[in-house]
Amino acid sequence: MPTRNASAVWEGGLKGGKGSFKAESGSIGGAYSFGSRFEGAVGSNPEELLAAAEAACFSMALSGSLEKNGTPPTKVETKAACTVEAVPGGFGITTMKLDVTATVPGIDDAKFQEIASATKAGCPVSKALANNVKIELTARLG
**pLDDT tens digits along 75-97:** 999 999 999 999 999 999 999 99
Which portions of the chain are predicted below pLDDT 50? none
Domain segments of the chain: what residues? 6-38, 46-141
Q: Homologous superfamily of 46-141 in CATH?
A: K homology (KH) domain (3.30.300.20)
pLDDT of residue 1: 83
pLDDT of residue 112: 98
- Provide the 8-state DSSP code for 89: T
Parallel, antiparallel or unpaired: strands 75-87 and 29-32: unpaired
Distance between CA atoms of residues 10 and 35, nearest Å: 14
102 within 8 A of 139, measured Cβ to Cβ: yes
State pTM to two decimals.
0.93
